[in-house]
Amino acid sequence: MIAHLEPITGRYVNLEIEGAPVRIYFEEAGTGTPVLCFHTAGADNRQWRHILNDEALTSRYRFIAPDMPRHGKSLPPEGWQTEEYLLTTETYISTVLAFADALGLDKPIYAGCSMGGRIALQLALRHPSRFSGFIAIEASDFQPAWYDIDWFHRPDAPGGEMGAALVSANIAPQAPSVERWNTQWMFMQSGPGVFRGDLSFYTRDDSLVGQLHRIDTKRAPVHLLVGEYDLTCTPEDALRTADAIDGATCDVMPGIGHFPMSEHPEAFRPHFVAALERMP
């Protein structure tokens, strides 16, 4: 067997988020237009592994995929051991902006999935001048939880494995088995309380409701992608959201669930390529 060395490189950047020093791990590949790629709740940047390995795309784009603090190889901020982790929209936005500044990125495209997709819409509303466009994957203004987030951080049960079993509901049956299980592995590996803390803002912050009409897609385009098997952000949720944003577009992806780039990279690719082509 011939060893295959992937073109992805991983590095760490030390920066401050809301006054606290953090060490962020990120992976990148490619040259050209920068594209920030943010992962879902309870997972990490490995969800983007196939896009970062796509040579036809990395010849035109520089994909940069960070691990949010506490996720993947990014350590938590000092003092985490006595804090209850509850991510907020404000902290997520601060993280994205601080990371883009730290890398000196000039108006990157922002692509994010699930909670990262929700933040795409928040950034489009609050910071459109910082980005050239937004790809909001499995994103909507808001949808209530159909589960109890406290299930995923208990002393008597493995939160990661329970989270993986729950999110398997969001993976389409068409997903190749190896990618289905790779996708769940990341949830199984997530740190204690991380999935719950991510979901706390995702399932409770409804601050986008009634605000979508204020997003100006002439300043930066917004394109939504949603999988037809997504139970959490359903096609109806995404289409409703796109309809409320003047100029936004939405693409429903057949045979795909909530983790498109990870669970079924081959089916996701053409939709993502079309989304990139909509960006300036």
Partner 1 sequence: MTPQQVFPRLQEMQASHNDRPHLARLGALFSETVLLEVDTVEHYLTFEKGKLVLLAEGPSRKTPWRFALRTDADALDRFWSALPEPGFHDIFGLVKLNRGRIDGDILCLVKNLRFFKEFMALGRQEAAG
Q: Toward partner 1, which CB reaches closer, 19 or 173?
A: 173
User: Least distance in Å: CB of 226 to partner 1?
Assistant: 11
Closest CA to 272 of 178, 168, 133: 133
Residues 6 or more apart from 259 whose CB is under 8 A from it? Answer: 40, 43, 47, 113, 114, 138, 167, 170, 171, 183
Touching partner 1, residues 191-210 (CB under 8 A)? none
Q: CA of 52: how far to CAs of 6, 8, 57, in Å?
A: 9, 6, 8
User: Least distance in Å: CB of 104 to partner 1?
Assistant: 42
Touching partner 1, residues 142-171 (CB under 8 A)? 146-147, 151, 157, 161-162, 164-166, 168-169
Rule CB under 8 A: is residue 181 a binding residue for partner 1? no
Rule CB under 8 A: is residue 104 a binding residue for partner 1? no
CA angle (134, 61, 253) in 5-degree steps: 50
User: Least distance in Å: CB of 111 to partner 1?
Assistant: 23
Residue 262: strand, helix, or coil: helix
Rule CB under 8 A: is residue 41 a binding residue for partner 1? no
Rule CB under 8 A: is residue 173 a binding residue for partner 1? yes
Token pair listed for 114: 């699930």
Whole-angstrom distance, CA of residue 139 vs CA of residue 280: 21
Touching partner 1, residues 217-276 (CB under 8 A)? 228-229, 231
Residues 6 or more apart from 237 whose CB is under 8 A from it? Answer: 140, 143, 226
User: Least distance in Å: CB of 173 to partner 1?
Assistant: 5
Residues that bind partner 1 (CB under 8 A): 146-147, 151, 157, 161-162, 164-166, 168-169, 172-174, 228-229, 231
